[in-house]
Chain A
Amino acid sequence: MSSRVFAAVAFAVAIGFAAASQLIPNEYYFTAAYTVLQFVILATAWNILGGYTGYVNFGSAAFFAIGAYTTVFLYNAYKAPLLVMIVAGTLVAGLAGLGLGYLTLRLRGVFFAIASLALSVVLFTFIVNWDYVGGARGAYVLQPREVPFGLPRYIHLLYVVMVLQAAVSLIVARTIEKSTIGRGLAAIRDDELAAECSGVPTLRLKIFSTMVSCALMGMAGTTFPYYLSFIEPTSAFSLSYAVNSIAMPLIGGMMSWIGPLIGAILLGSVQQLVQVMFSLGAWNLLIVGVLLVLFVTLAPNGIMGWVDAWRRRKGR
């Protein structure tokens, strides 16, 4: 399936899905789905750099927060429309990714990982000290009273936006995966030295991959302040984002675009259930952590890896 066809199909499915869900009467579905879709975007974005290129980014929360705080800034400064905020947040996060990549991608992969973690802390300290976006006190971003497009509640609009964002990130991921860029990234992942020697422009590809990955993570964060009406640094930089964005692609399968989608839907739904069915929300992160360690040790290719192995056995 060519990328253009896939994009068209993906958008059609997304719009159809979003429209059909409007029929669901209870609001709880939309709030839960918002969170799961957030993870779909984050997992897909992380996998572009992690699964395709082989570089681990521990700072997903930092880029997510960049998207969220760009929204806060634009809300305070211009009360900008939502679309402007989304585009701006994505771009700023992408630029931050470019900066991080430029500084550290010339060194070993390990330093990129540590630097991404360091970036989280530096950015956190910076936001905490920046009063204009609320600093440690937090900032209020109030949902408008009138919901555009005639939707009944604002959460419905946020939900539709997230579905579309998820579609965009999946399209971007798949397009990269099937293109020459994707083959170059795979070469870097498998053996960077050999790739460099074969003429693959490793530095440029790595920086490109980082930029796209971080930009999409930022995009995931742009609607978050509206979802909560109140954003403060500790929840914006929550460790849950960093660990989930690594665990979900790992568990789903890092080789293709489907893996993060499966991992996010599966793991995200489980976490929502654990939170309300058993009120054991605090165990969520432990479950994710244990699954992460189990999968990385025993099933490194994730669920899609099992599917592929099973298909290969059947085909024989």
Chain B
Amino acid sequence: MDASTALVINAIIAGLLLGGFYAAVSLGISISFGMLDVVNIAHPAFIILGSYVAYIVNDRFGFDPIFVSVVLSPLFFLLGMALYRIYYIAFEKRGQESLRGLAFFFGILFITEVTLVLIFGVDYRTVGTVYGDVTWRAGPVDFPMRLVVPFLVSVTMVVGVQLFLTHTFFGRAVLAVAQDQLALRLMGVNPVRVKELAFALSIATAGVAGAFLIVIQPVQPAIGREYIGLVFAVCVLGGMGSIWGTLIGALVLGIAESFTSTFFGPSWAPAVSFGLLLATLAFRPSGLLGR
């Protein structure tokens, strides 16, 4: 295999692995924005919070960050419930969610970032994992475990959530709430309760995704803002409210970024996700698999 073919194949592999991670990161937005219509732009802040929680435990006790985040995800779940409560009482009930809800979440994003900076400083933090420096080589093709392990867990989480939504009562209630809240009420289910639990689920996935993030790359508080565009790009590209769409959108984005990085220069990679977002909004706002 010659050098440039190897380059292309490695770019694709790296893109796919990264894409799986992007899917986990965007999963929460797919639920909160795609299905519940809550514009939670503070989502990346909870991802970063998840990263720092994983970092603290890893630093102190040496436990694997991904394991830690899964174990601690109920904490994020409760945090999500509390946040939705406030959001609902302050904004949604009064029908003023558009401007003020947005400003509210922006403030939350901001406060989280600045608080993390005040506590931890702006230095990058990393975690130590047993697989972090291991690379499995198949000839000229590399599979760094640092990307493979988060990829596998991400995809498991995404598939798990999708199965949950389609095969359990509560999951189907969530899908229903996205379509017709009044009908749901008429059937005796409290849509507010459903939304609250679904939103909590989205924040829990953010916490776990944070652990993936810090395994893949060093983390500092300001990174969250770069992911805002990325998560919305993935959801819009994939089609709002479709989990499979989110996965596909994430893989597409991962490969696009990887190719841009390798062949056009890494300077342009951040613009790829946003460019894709703007293009999708302009030409096909319903996305690839959207309704």
Give chain A's interface residues, CB within 8 Å of chain B: 50, 54-56, 58, 103-104, 107, 109-111, 113-115, 117-119, 121-122, 124-126, 128-129, 239, 243, 246-247, 250, 282-283, 285-286, 288-290, 292-293, 296-297, 300
Task: State which of A103, A283, A293, A300 has its C-beta within 8 Å of the C-beta of B281.
Answer: A103
Please encode chain B, from 256 to 291, with 1 for each CB lying within 8 Å of some chain A CB and 0 for all others: 000000000001101100110110011001000000
A121-B226, A129-B268 given; 18 more Cβ-contact pairs under 8 Å: A56-B98, A56-B99, A58-B41, A103-B282, A107-B281, A114-B277, A117-B41, A121-B229, A125-B268, A125-B271, A239-B222, A286-B114, A290-B111, A292-B106, A292-B110, A293-B107, A293-B108, A300-B96
* B225 in contact (CB, < 8 A): yes
Q: Which residues of B contact A54 (CB under 8 A)?
A: 98-99
| Interface contact B100-A118, CB-CB below 8 Å | no
Instruction: Compute how far the CA of A104 lies from the CA of B114 in the bound complex, rounded to whole angstroms.
Output: 30
Instruction: Compute how far the CA of A103 lies from the CA of B267 in the bound complex, rounded to whole angstroms.
Output: 25
If A110-B39, A113-B39, A128-B267 touch, does A118 touch B108 (CB 8 Å cutoff)?
Answer: no
| Interface contact A117-B229, CB-CB below 8 Å | yes
11 contacts between A and B (CB under 8 A): A104-B281, A107-B285, A114-B41, A114-B232, A115-B277, A121-B271, A129-B268, A239-B225, A285-B114, A286-B115, A300-B100
- A122 vs chain B, min Cβ distance (A): 5
Closest to A126 in B: B271
Name B's interface SS. Answer: helix
225-252 of chain B: CB within 8 A of chain A = 225-226, 228-229, 232-233
Closest to A135 in B: B267
Instruction: Compute how far the CA of A107 lies from the CA of B236 in the bound complex, rounded to whole angstroms.
Output: 13
Give chain B's interface residues, CB within 8 Å of chain A: 39, 41, 86, 90, 96, 98-100, 102-104, 106-108, 110-111, 114-115, 117-118, 222, 225-226, 228-229, 232-233, 267-268, 270-271, 274-275, 277-278, 281-282, 285
| Interface contact A297-B102, CB-CB below 8 Å | no
Instruction: Compute how far the CA of A113 lies from the CA of B270 in the bound complex, rounded to whole angstroms.
Output: 19
Task: State which of B114, B232, B275, B278 has its C-beta within 8 Å of the C-beta of A103.
Answer: B278
| Interface contact B229-A118, CB-CB below 8 Å | yes
Closest to A54 in B: B99
Q: Which residues of B contact A289 (CB under 8 A)?
A: 107, 110-111, 114
| Interface contact B270-A125, CB-CB below 8 Å | yes
| Interface contact A114-B229, CB-CB below 8 Å | yes
Closest to B233 in A: A118
- B90 vs chain A, min Cβ distance (A): 5
